[in-house]
Chain A
Amino acid sequence: MEIIEKIKTNKLIDNQTEIQKICLHKLQSSPLPNPKSELWRLSNKSKFSNFLDYSVNEENPKLDIPYPKNSQNAIRLIIGENCQIKLIDENYSIQQLSDGELNKYIKDQISCFDQNENWSELLNLSLSCTKNILGLKINGSKIPPIEIFSHASSNSLNAKTLVIFLEKNCDIELLQVNLGKENSSLSQSTFFCLEENSSLNHGVVSYGEKRSNLVNSLNVIQQKNSEYNLGSLHFKFNYARFEIRIKQSAGKAKTNIKGMQITKKDEQISTYTKIDFNGPNGFLDQINKSLADDKSHAIFEGSIIVPKIAQKTDASQLSRNLLLSNLAQIDTKPQLKIIADDVKCKHGATISQLNEEELFYMRTRGITLQEASKLQLSSYFQEIISFIPVSKDRWDLLDKLLNEN
């Protein structure tokens, strides 16, 4: 594990920024996450080791974006490539955070980090050089959709960080795409701060090529009356983990999450979510789907934390899983930690195979087994994909990607 050896000797990067120094220092004492913790217990050690085997690459070779430019004049940003942006319109403004603002925010975050729980962010921030950190503050309304791309180039480990402040009453649609080239590792950390009455429709689409790896962490802080909607899709990674941490800082906020991971061959993809209600009248509706084929392994572990202050919380977490092969494996563990006594919380998990009766019904209408399975799978995907904010003209492409998978 090349990276870890370098962290231990603190010889990772020349000209380290202050943030990198802080994070590297934190990691030096225990450079690897605790394998016994719930967050890492089921992580495949050899695959994780492969993630850390590549050398850090601060360069960003030009990326061939597989998405065509859409017709809605979306704002497209590629972290590391064209991070300069300053758009001031009659109705809205999108500006980069100043170095001071960005450093202060990240340092505040780091001061709250737990060494084990936030290991992914610590690694990311210790590897992200200044040009690979994009910080934005956005306000206003009628904002065009925003697309943000991160990618890892072949035979290297790339670290990208995104920080976005949504100011009061702001309303945006943002699609984040993480791409892994052949034999690569991408470390992506994202931080959102949603101020009062702001709303974010967030899509995360992550997919790789042969033997690509991803550690993707997402941290969201929601102030009162904010709404955060997340639709996510992760597929085609040798090893990928998606860690979601959402905090409703004063309650009375809305969170909707619909996520899916698709694993094939010997891939391992996992999703961890922690939703923390820190005030009354919070709302959560979460569905996570896994689809595992061949000898692959999909993991979901979700926790909802409702302390005493979070009365009248209304939270639902559902894990739905499809096993397509006898050798595939799915682990799922939705959890509730409730101390408040006046709440409405539910959780559940199902693991099933393709519905035989649905398949038979379709086959009695002349639809082949293969077509019927495809129709059934696309209906399984539909609920999640329809929640990802991607414009209609790019749906065909997403469809193609799913078919290829």
Chain B
Amino acid sequence: MQSKMKESDPILEVENLFASTDNLPILKGVSLTVYPGEIHAIMGRNGCGKSTLSKIIAGHPSYNITNGNIIFSGENINSLEPEERAQSGIFLGFQYPIEIPGVSNLEFLRVSTNSRRKFLNKEELDTFDFEELVKEKLELVKMDHAFLSRSVNQGFSGGEKKRNEILQMALLEPKIAILDETDSGLDIDALRIVATGIKKISNAQTGIILITHYQRLLDEIEPNYVHVMSDGQIIRTGGSDLALELEKKGYEWTDNFVKET
């Protein structure tokens, strides 16, 4: 499916990636290529390695890459620190966004945004200029200004935390965004707000990887490719109809696929 000729270079190439934590193998040969403008969905049962793949791409220090490469914008990033990956344009939207008591959301967003701007050789923003920028981005996810004065994610509802993730994505303007179960815990309205935000942020230069269990997010954001993961591997790749089929037949169907292959 990805063998057709592309006009530009890939943003992200995951090449035969093996990774483990505490000597326990989690990823067992994952390959994935994302070109600018593409939306990829990764689906699979709990524990199949979807979230681990996202964390490894973002540089989580608890995981070791035992084989394979992660190439981002033509550079091997296997040994880069998480902050270096983020500054260069990789964004990970967390399934469970972390609460940081005592650190104001506004300051956190400002420091993050400036670290990315510094990498892009853009002028760093002071508090006043940043407030202007953030006001504009708050509109995208329909968040109240009052969220900025609270501690990062502390006391936020599940939906507010996810909207805060999308707000961060909007501010950081990543080249690739990996959104780990951004739809979990969202009601229909919140899902629509988040999905609209993602669509507005993404463009022909960015790539998006949506990790999800459900079709409902993919109804809002239609992926170009759907990948099914099982036991640390991508066992099948297809178009958006694969997600529909999966919704209909369940993951047992993919078990049969593994057996067949």
Contacts and interface: CB of A to CB of B under 8 A. Distances in A.
Contacts of B91: 364
Contacts of A369: 81, 83
Interface residues of B, number: 29
Nearest to A371: B111
Specify the main secondary structure of chain A where it touches its partner: helix
Contact of B83 (A358, A368, A376, A378): A368
B66 to A, nearest CB: 20
Interface residues of A, number: 23
B206 interface: no
A366 B61 contact: no
Given A371-B111, A375-B108, A375-B111, A365 B100 contact: no
Contact of B86 (A358, A366, A371, A379): A366
Given A375-B108, A379-B151, A363 B82 contact: yes
A127 to B, nearest CB: 40
Contacts of A379: 100-103, 151
Given A375-B111, A379-B101, A379-B103, A365 B172 contact: yes
A365 B168 contact: yes
Interface stretch (B22-30, B45-53, B112-120, B192-200): B112-120
A383 B62 CA distance: 30
B87 interface: yes
Interface in A362-405: 362-369, 371-372, 375-376, 378-383
Among A361, A366, A378, A382, chain B packs the most CB atoms within 10 A around the CB of A366
B81 A358 contact: no
B60 A360 contact: yes
Given A363-B86, A364-B58, A365-B172, A376 B112 contact: no
B2 to A, nearest CB: 26
A362 B102 contact: no
Nearest to A372: B83
Contact of B112 (A358, A367, A383): A367
A357 interface: yes
Contacts of A380: 102
Interface in B78-93: 81-83, 85-87, 91-92
Contacts of B116: 366
Nearest to A380: B102
Contacts of B92: 364
Contacts of A372: 83
Contact of B102 (A360, A366, A382): A382
Contacts of B60: 360
Contacts of B97: 361
A288 to B, nearest CB: 17
B102 A365 contact: no
B100 A361 contact: yes
Interface string A323-337: 000000000000000
B98 interface: yes
B81 A363 contact: yes
| Central interface residue in A358, A362, A383, by most chain B CB within 10 Å | A362
B94 interface: yes
B112 A363 contact: no
A379 to B, nearest CB: 3
Nearest to B107: A375
Interface string B115-140: 11001000000000000000000000
Contacts of A363: 59, 81-83, 86
A365 B118 CA distance: 13
A356 B94 CA distance: 15
A345 to B, nearest CB: 25
Contacts of A367: 83, 108, 111-112, 115
B108 A365 contact: yes
A357 B86 CA distance: 16
A361 B153 CA distance: 12
A381 B82 CA distance: 26
B119 A366 contact: yes
Nearest to B101: A379
A375 B98 contact: no
Nearest to B112: A365
A360 B82 contact: yes
A371 B114 CA distance: 13
Given A360-B60, A361-B94, A366 B112 contact: yes
A365 B115 CA distance: 8
Contacts of B82: 360, 363-364
A372 B94 CA distance: 17
A360 B180 CA distance: 15
Contacts of A365: 86, 108, 111-112, 115, 168, 172
19 contacts: A358-B98, A360-B61, A362-B112, A363-B81, A363-B86, A364-B83, A364-B85, A364-B91, A364-B94, A365-B168, A366-B112, A366-B172, A367-B83, A367-B111, A367-B112, A375-B103, A375-B111, A379-B101, A380-B102
The 3 closest A-B pairs by CB, nearest first: A379-B102, A366-B115, A365-B112
Interface of A: 356-358, 360-369, 371-372, 375-376, 378-383
Given A368-B81, A380-B102, 18 more contacts: A360-B60, A360-B61, A360-B82, A361-B100, A362-B100, A362-B108, A364-B83, A365-B86, A365-B115, A366-B115, A369-B81, A369-B83, A375-B100, A376-B103, A379-B102, A379-B103, A379-B151, A381-B102
